[in-house]
């Protein structure tokens, strides 16, 4: 299968390690961008124990990013899930990251708040 943007093994390994890292509570994020010269995805940074609001401040406004967010959604059963924010080569990235929930944020920092994320995850 031909892909427009390659996901190198190093990033796949980093995504796997991030997904299986043990976290007690809160949110963590792995940020990825597309290197337009090489047509590959590259890890930009990882954040441990970061709120969605603080993450929004860290992300550039006019430069799309993929964000895998380990996010503690306050369900009655206490489940913590992984979701993907942003899309471009979304299907390949979603399959590689092996995440269960996906939301797209187009509202900028206003869309990356705990109430906004909870609303999208709980009510679609």
Task: Give 85's pLDDT tier (boundaries 50, 70, 90).
Answer: very low
Q: What is the pTM of this model?
A: 0.64
- Strand 66-71 to 81-85 pairing: antiparallel
54-76 tens-digit pLDDT? 988 888 877 878 888 887 766 66
Please report the domains of the chain, with CATH numbers, ordered by start residue: 9-123 (3.40.20.10)
Residue 97 Cα to chain centre, angstroms: 9
More confident residue, 64 or 8: 8
Answer whether 22's CB lies under 8 Å from 6's CB: no
- Which residues, other chains included, contact 97 with Cβ-Cβ below 8 Å and sequence gap of 6+? 15, 19, 68, 82, 84
75/9 Cα distance (integer angstroms):
34
């Amino acid at each position: 299968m031909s892909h427009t943007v390659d996901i190198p093994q190093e990033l796949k390994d980093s995504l796997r390690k991030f997904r299986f890292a043990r976290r007690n509570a809160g949110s963590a994020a792995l940020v990825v961008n597309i290197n337009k010269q090489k047509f590959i995805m590259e890890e930009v940074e990882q954040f441990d124990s970061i709120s969605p609001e603080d993450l929004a401040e860290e992300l550039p406004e006019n430069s799309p990013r993929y964000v895998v967010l380990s996010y503690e959604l306050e369900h009655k059963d206490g489940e913590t899930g992984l979701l993907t924010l942003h899309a471009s080569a979304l299907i390949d990235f979603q399959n590689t990251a092996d995440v269960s929930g996906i939301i797209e944020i187009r509202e900028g920092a206003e869309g990356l708040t705990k109430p906004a994320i909870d609303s999208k995850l709980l009510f679609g």
